[in-house]
Structure 1
Amino acid sequence: MVSSKASASFLSRIAGYAGLLIVALGVALGGTTDRASANQRYAAYVLDANTGQVLFARNADARRYPASLTKMMTIYMIFEAIEAGRITEKTQVPFSRNASAEPPTKLGVKAGGSITVETAIRALVTRSANDVATAVAELLGGSEAKFAQMMTAKARQLGMNSTQFRNAHGLPNTQQYTSARDMAILGVALREHFPRRYDYFSTRSFAYGKQRISTHNRLLGRVKGVDGIKTGYTRASGFNLVTSVQSDGRSVVAVVMGGQSGRSRDDHMAALIRDHLPRASRKDSGPLVASRKLTPGTAAVAAAAVALPRTNIPMPAFRPTGETVEVAAAVTAYAATPRNTAPMPTTAAPVPSAPVPTPVAATDDRFANAIDPMQTASTAPTSGWAVQIASSPSQSEAFAALVRTGKEASGVLGAANAFIEEFENKGTVYYRARFGGFASKNQAWNACNALKKQKIDCFAAQL
């Protein structure tokens, strides 16, 4: 008989597999303007990180689900704890049963195990590991709920007045929300407040045991000057990305939320950088985000979080320059006008490679009902080895194979990431059903041999 814990774990994975099918369909449907215009989750923001000038904005203050962008704040809290002397990069992060049981994407540390803080940071940046986020929350906050209060309190200190956290990983919660503007503030804060540690966000891959874990952030190495920061995805949020660029003295932080697919989101971000980075100033006017305020301990921060009023706190997020205020006011006015009846103010360039959808609040029933348990990996693996268990011209059959294999061999596949890969052969489109996350050929073949003992056909393939 299957235990209730195993059943719950399997159900969470099945939800992830269902999301994979949605992702694949999104890739197929996301290429046309008419279809993309129906995307009510879209928001974008480009900020000159030298001056605070808003270079581009669409739905910048509309509530959106952060997904794994949440982990940017989790990492901020880790950096702050290190600089306050509460922990070091060598401190062990223990994994409770609660942390170990988080759904993928995860590092796969068993309950009772531990990793160093340094490994935790790299796992959060690259794999976007949900189990690691929860373990960190329990270490620094005593519980994930208290840590979420600390995160929200920190958001208010930074001027992120449209953000509320309920967990440390970004898995769906109707009460966890943010905005594109707030995510830009957090991106700038990470750079300004932790210049010696920020380069963690440029990590392309790192070794964990016998695994080589690669980043989900495909903008690194693709666009000149990109040095981080973070991807995110759930079905409710769409494909999110915060990107930092520093090139030729210019510096911007850009945000795209609600993308239809990982590829279209990345393409749109590349276009935003291409069109707006040349408009950024080479003159650095100094820090943009409110100075970091260290707190003496967990209890003080949690208490401050509870005491926070529910209404926004009137504190400036950026230096109140006339130009910034003027642009922000123009963007706000534009957002309130009916679509297709007024041009974007001349202070902000037109949207490259994407239409302007109708904004929707996170409290909208249509938006809230889209929430489901979901992986937060935003792309299929791009390196390492995978185990392929099916290839079919039918996407639904490939998906069914993933579900069936996940159910029959969950013990063999462990924390492997399921994904569907599309390819064309002699004019026919096929769909490969694969499980990725294996660091070596031997690991992949060992898993495949174990599957074959359960009469599941498979073979190992290098990505």
Structure 2
Amino acid sequence: MSAIVLLAFTLCTPNLAFAKYASLVIDAKTGEVLHETNADTRNYPASLTKMMTLYMVFEALEDGHLRMDDRIMMTRHAANQPPSKLGIQVGQSISVETAIRALAIKSANDVASAVSEHLAGTERQFALLMTTKARALGMSNTTFRNASGLPHRGQMSTARDMSKLARALLMHFPHRYHYFSEPDFEYAGTTHKSHNKLLTNYEGTDGIKTGYIRASGFNLVASVKRDNQRLIGVVFGAKNSQIRNHHMVKLLDEGWAKIDPNATTVAQDIPKPTPSAKAKTTGTSAHVAFAPGQPAKSKSKSGPSKTTWGVQIGAYKSYDPAYEIAMRAINLAPSYLGDGDITVAPLEKKNGHVLYRGRVMNISKSQAYKACKYLKKMKIGCMPLSTSEPLEVASLN
């Protein structure tokens, strides 16, 4: 995406932080890349950070610098971290094993900070050690500034680097990886459940971590094992957790199909994405409802010609910004546009120049008019339209 397009988005919606969409699927055994989009784009990892915090804990256990029955003291600095947290009082302590479960399952920020201070004296020093370890693991585009993933402009990673970290956890600590598989744990009479719904809703999923801050969108690293094969999937920048989960399932299904053409979809009761609070109609398609990313140019015919309704959001001198404004429109009005298909319609002008028109098609007339009414309130130009021309559906993949 060009800097000009990013600037235009920022000026149009000054209070909206756009996460950068990225995704990757690899064969965990061979490292073969089965799918990638923006895999080396630096993003905020959010609580995916705790994968590295746990790597450091596991390594300290292996080296003998830490024992499972050691106690982690809650300091004032750690206790003051914002939620999600376990809520331990200053001066109280928990065992290392409880801390591991609090990080892997509850994603507790106070525990992450307390662990960092226990191992390195200060969280800042621990973050430096995390970054050094990241480099040793080949995570060349990752920098850590804290142990939790709470917002920090210098804390960045990529989909590719997070897949390397997930793979390292599997390979280096197979006897401790089970903590990422646990759906819940109990502490002080309260049961804390994992945020990773694929553990129970997608066959073979046995980890690994979710993450969210406003600047990152909804992130997920998932590991799925079937028979003697394993895939690792990474998604950055989803609009909400339901869309993230649906999109991850789609990418993993495609990954299995590449490994085994006879593979079938085996998602079990993954909740469908729900419309926003302002929604009056249903439907959100997971394959497009992400913050802007770099699309590929591959297209497929949508079928025979028929009259169909849609909206046109803008016309640009190149393909990418036309695609991106259509994607942004879906993000802003998912209840009206979420069931539609993004199309980029070229128009050759008399001077030989081509304009690329961003559209969302295959919706109802009512949805088209309501979407434009809403988008105009958001300062986005929009025009309802109907056409009987054959549509070419733009794809993320």
Q: TM-score range by the shorter chain?
A: 0.5 to 0.7
Partner of 1:206: 185
**One-letter amino acid of the structure 2 residue matched with residue 97 of structure 1:** R
Partner of 1:169: 148
Instruction: Please state if 1:55 is matched with 2:34.
Output: yes
Q: What is the CA-CA distance between 1:51 and the residue it aligns to?
A: 1.3
Partner of 1:79: 58
Aligned-residue RMSD, C-alpha: 2.1
Instruction: Please state if 1:261 is matched with 2:240.
Output: yes
Partner of 2:97: 118
Which blocks of at least 5 consecutive residues in structure 1 are unaligned? 1-37, 282-336, 345-355, 359-463
Instruction: Please state if 1:273 is matched with 2:228.
Output: no
Q: Deviations over 1:369-391 (max 9, x none)?
A: xxxxxxxxxxxxxxxxxxxxxxx
Q: 1:181 aligns with which of 160, 171, 188?
A: 160
Partner of 2:315: none
**One-letter amino acid of the structure 1 residue matched with residue 97 of structure 2:** E
Change (3 A) 1:92 1:272: same
Structure with the bigger RCO (C-alpha within 8 Å, sep 6+) is 1
Using the alignment, how far apart are the partners of 2:191 and 2:49 within structure 1? 24
Using the alignment, how far apart are the partners of 1:182 and 1:338 within structure 2? 18
Using the alignment, how far apart are the partners of 1:51 and 1:232 within structure 2? 26
Change (3 A) 1:357 1:164: farther
Q: Deviations over 1:49-76 (max 9, x none)?
A: 1111100000000010000000000000
Instruction: Please state if 1:98 is matched with 2:72.
Output: no
Using the alignment, how far apart are the partners of 2:119 and 2:258 within structure 1? 41
**One-letter amino acid of the structure 2 residue matched with residue 343 of structure 1:** S
Using the alignment, how far apart are the partners of 2:33 and 2:177 within structure 1? 23
Using the alignment, how far apart are the partners of 1:124 and 1:164 within structure 2? 19
Q: 1:158, 1:189 within 8 Å by CA — same for their partners in 2?
A: yes
Partner of 1:158: 137
Aligned positions of 1:425-440 closer than 5 A: none
Report how many aligned residue pairs link the two structures. 255
Q: What is the CA-CA distance between 1:338 and the residue it aligns to?
A: 7.8
Using the alignment, how far apart are the partners of 2:206 and 2:214 within structure 1? 27
Partner of 1:248: 227
Change (3 A) 1:217 1:161: same
Which blocks of at least 5 consecutive residues in structure 2 are unaligned? 1-16, 261-292, 300-318, 322-397
Q: What is the CA-CA distance between 1:187 and the residue it aligns to?
A: 0.4
Using the alignment, how far apart are the partners of 1:182 and 1:128 within structure 2? 20
**One-letter amino acid of the structure 1 residue matched with residue 187 of structure 2:** Y
Aligned residue for 1:196, secondary structure, equals coil
Using the alignment, how far apart are the partners of 1:357 and 1:224 within structure 2? 36
Aligned residue for 1:187, secondary structure, equals helix
**One-letter amino acid of the structure 1 residue matched with residue 80 of structure 2:** A
Aligned residue for 2:198, secondary structure, equals coil
Using the alignment, how far apart are the partners of 2:253 and 2:149 within structure 1? 29
Instruction: Please state if 1:195 is matched with 2:150.
Output: no
**One-letter amino acid of the structure 2 residue matched with residue 219 of structure 1:** L
Partner of 1:398: none
Using the alignment, how far apart are the partners of 1:253 and 1:43 within structure 2? 14
Partner of 2:298: 343
Using the alignment, how far apart are the partners of 1:190 and 1:218 within structure 2? 20
Aligned-pair identity in percent equals 50
**One-letter amino acid of the structure 2 residue matched with residue 125 of structure 1:** A
Q: What is the CA-CA distance between 1:278 and the residue it aligns to?
A: 3.3
Q: 1:205, 1:212 within 8 Å by CA — same for their partners in 2?
A: yes
Partner of 2:23: 44
Q: 2:19, 2:43 within 8 Å by CA — same for their partners in 1?
A: no
Q: What is the CA-CA distance between 1:250 and the residue it aligns to?
A: 1.5
Change (3 A) 1:129 1:236: same
Q: What is the CA-CA distance between 1:153 and the residue it aligns to?
A: 0.3
Q: 1:107, 1:132 within 8 Å by CA — same for their partners in 2?
A: yes
**One-letter amino acid of the structure 2 residue matched with residue 158 of structure 1:** L
With the length of structure 1 as denominator, give the TM-score of the two structures.
0.53
Q: 1:39, 1:260 within 8 Å by CA — same for their partners in 2?
A: no
Partner of 1:233: 212
Aligned residue for 2:67, secondary structure, equals coil
Q: 1:105, 1:130 within 8 Å by CA — same for their partners in 2?
A: yes
With the length of structure 2 as denominator, give the TM-score of the two structures.
0.62
Using the alignment, how far apart are the partners of 1:262 and 1:40 within structure 2? 14
Change (3 A) 1:247 1:114: same
Aligned residue for 2:31, secondary structure, equals coil
Using the alignment, how far apart are the partners of 1:60 and 1:112 within structure 2? 42
**One-letter amino acid of the structure 2 residue matched with residue 95 of structure 1:** M
Using the alignment, how far apart are the partners of 1:143 and 1:338 within structure 2? 39
Q: 2:19, 2:215 within 8 Å by CA — same for their partners in 1?
A: no
Q: 2:19, 2:216 within 8 Å by CA — same for their partners in 1?
A: no
Give every structure 1 segment of 4 or more consecutive aligned residues whose post-TM-superposition deviation is greater than 3 Å.
337-340
Q: Deviations over 1:162-190 (max 9, x none)?
A: 00000000000000100000000000000
Using the alignment, how far apart are the partners of 1:146 and 1:40 within structure 2? 28
Partner of 1:215: 194
Q: What is the CA-CA distance between 1:343 and the residue it aligns to?
A: 2.6
Aligned residue for 2:97, secondary structure, equals helix
**One-letter amino acid of the structure 1 residue matched with residue 91 of structure 2:** G
Aligned residue for 2:42, secondary structure, equals coil
